[in-house]
Amino acid sequence: GQQLNQSPQSMFIQEGEDVSMNCTSSSIFNTWLWYKQDPGEGPVLLIALYKAGELTSNGRLTAQFGITRKDSFLNISASIPSDVGIYFCAGRSTLGRLYFGRGTQLTVWP
């Protein structure tokens, strides 16, 4: 099935640094979502984007729905140790199917 191109695959950063990750697709999506998975847990929804160009924040997290509807990015500002986990992007196609990226593994050093 279709897979989104999510990058980077992994990041090792120091506490306090900003983080940026993105997702691209060859197809148009109606919705972009960002999930975070803590170790031993299921993914949890962080941000949902519904309109091209939309920029949405959730605390230190900011995500944007690309104007072409084929990409999205997630920024985390001033990272803290509890930001550690796997971040997944997901896109919902015009036919209603949901596709996930392969995830970005984030490690934050104190």
Partner 1 sequence: KAGVTQTPRYLIKTRGQQVTLSCSPISGHRSVSWYQQTPGQGLQFLFEYFSETQRNKGNFPGRFSGRQFSNSRSEMNVSTLELGDSALYLCASTSVAGANTGELFFGEGSRLTVL
The reply on whether position 66 binds partner 1 by CB under 8 A is no
Q: Is 42 or 110 the residue whose CB approaches partner 1 more closely?
A: 42
End-to-end CA distance of the chain: 39
Q: Kindly report the number of other CB atoms within 10 A of residue 19's CB atom.
A: 20
Q: Is 70 or 102 the residue whose CB approaches partner 1 more closely?
A: 102
Q: Which of 51, 97, 107, 109 binds partner 1 (CB under 8 A)?
A: 97
CB of 60 to partner 1, least distance (A): 21
The reply on whether position 48 binds partner 1 by CB under 8 A is yes
Residue 6 three-state SS: strand
Return residues touching partner 1 (CB under 8 A). Answer: 1, 3, 31, 33, 35, 40-45, 48, 50, 88, 90, 92, 96-103
